[in-house]
Structure 1
Amino acid sequence: MADLQEAVVTLPSAPASVSAARRYVCDRLAEWGLPSDAPALDSVRLIVSELATNAVLHTCGRSPEFTVLMRLEHSERLHIGVRDRHPRWPRLQPADEPGEACPLADFDLDPCALDPGDLDPGAGYGGDPGAGGREDGGRGMVIVGHLADESGGALRITPTEEGGKTVWIVLPWTVRVL
């Protein structure tokens, strides 16, 4: 296998694109040697579904398409990103119980691009139904972060030159290369 494998697909911001994104990622992973029964595949499916769903639901028509980016480096680290053009960054759902920490510190967020307003429950990207979000908004990113963490990986959000963002997961690649 080459030192670097890359794959990219751009899809319309439509509900049917979520399953297309998931299928695309699973097909590329199979091509790169990940068995269909690998335990990590379930986590990757859920992560891609959540990130693609966010790109479709939360961009409010400001991103007519989203892009799924994949990169496998030196057969050691798998990067999967979902990029959209919406400037609003995802936020994490605040803790449900007093004293319960919201695990923001567990995420590798680019500090140059993080807008503290994006962490406000009324910011409009989840949280406050009156601001265009839903009451359960933000929990999906916590799930994505925990799945990445359980797999020995990380969640990262980076700005794009066009003013949007890419939400990345980085996971260790555990498939032996023959």
Structure 2
Amino acid sequence: MQFTSTPRGARLARRLVSHRLDEWGYPYDSTANETLTLIAAELAANAIRHGHVRGRDFHVRLVQYSVGATTFVRIEVADTRTERGPPLETPAPPTVDEEAGRGLLLVSRVADRWGVAPRVGAPGKIVWAALEPNSQ
């Protein structure tokens, strides 16, 4: 799914992720849907705030996969800014008076896994998070 790198694009991405999860059997009011939608919102917000390149969109990919008997849902948000990426380890909590810096900390706390990967075939990077929705 491709979205404009604007607050409206981030809002549409979040809504589409929540809708798709509901179609996959994770109802809107379930903990899994709410958690995955929160992750999508944070990653999309970071893509437009930190990964935006003028005139380029961000992409969201939602994948459900299994490892053995365990099912995961993975959210990938790709932006087009290669030279600027998130820390590779869990970020330190911001100070009380800092206005930003909580997004990836929140993602790291609610996701089962998260990471950063280079974007293949295009400039930029992918920030992803995976959750085992049935453990919620």
- Same structural fold, with TM-score higher than 0.5 when normalized by the shorter chain: yes
* Partner residue in 2 for 1:154: 113
* Partner residue in 1 for 2:86: 90
- Between the aligned partners of 1:95 and 1:25, the Cα distance in structure 2 is 27
Matches within 5 A, 1:14-29: 14-29=6-21
Q: Which runs of 5+ in 1 are unaligned?
A: 1-8, 98-134
Aligned pairs, how many? 126
Cα offset for 1:86?
0.5
Cα offset for 1:46?
1.5
Q: Which runs of 5+ in 2 are unaligned?
A: none
Determine whether 1:166 maps to 2:100: no
Pair 1:173–1:63, CA change in 2 (3 A): farther
Note the aligned Cα RMSD (angstroms): 2.2
Cα offset for 1:37?
1.9
Match of 1:78 among 73, 91, 94: 73
* Partner residue in 2 for 1:50: 42
Which secondary structure does the structure 2 equivalent of 1:86 belong to?
coil
Kindly, what percent of the aligned residue pairs are identical? Answer: 33
Cα offset for 1:96?
5.3
Which secondary structure does the structure 1 equivalent of 2:134 belong to?
coil
Pair 1:94–1:62, CA change in 2 (3 A): farther
Pair 1:63–1:80, CA change in 2 (3 A): farther
Which secondary structure does the structure 2 equivalent of 1:73 belong to?
strand
- Between the aligned partners of 2:133 and 2:32, the Cα distance in structure 1 is 9
